[in-house]
């Protein structure tokens, strides 16, 4: 099965976004970064993809909302992140 497309919604100057991207980079994951700093349409898109999401980062693997920085680090600590990312 091919790896899902990974999207990460970020905001300029966000340390949690930087930390989440560092984990994805360390795993060799190709992802699309969507900067919502000044883009209300993209922020609204993020909220549609994960209802109630107001904070960044928000990470998606295909249609699956993985949550934020702490969430993907927790998945990694549980040994479940690689499977979700198709690694």
For residue 81, what are the CA distances in angstroms to 35, 50, 57, 58, 76?
Answer: 23, 19, 16, 15, 5
List the domain range (segments joined by +) for residue 43: 1-6+30-81
Report how many domains make up the chain. 1
With a pLDDT cut of 70, the percent of the chain lying above it is: 99
Residue 17 belongs to a domain: no
Whether 65 contacts 49, CB under 8 Å: yes
Residue 87 belongs to a domain: no
Predicted confidence at residue 52, as pLDDT, reads: 87
Interval 38-77: pLDDT, tens: 999 999 999 999 998 889 999 999 999 999 999 999 999 9
Predicted confidence at residue 57, as pLDDT, reads: 98
CATH number at residue 2: 3.40.30.10
**Whether residue 1 has pLDDT greater than 70:** no
pTM above 0.85, yes or no: yes
């Amino acid at each position: 099965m091919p790896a899902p497309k990974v999207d990460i919604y970020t905001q300029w100057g966000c340390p949690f976004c930087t930390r989440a991207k560092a984990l994805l980079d360390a795993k060799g994951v190709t992802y699309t970064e969507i900067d919502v700093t000044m883009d209300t349409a993209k922020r609204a898109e993020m909220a549609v993809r994960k209802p109630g999401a107001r904070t960044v980062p928000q990470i998606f693997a295909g249609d699956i909302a993985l949550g934020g920085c702490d969430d993907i680090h927790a998945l990694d600590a549980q040994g479940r992140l690689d499977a979700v990312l198709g690694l």
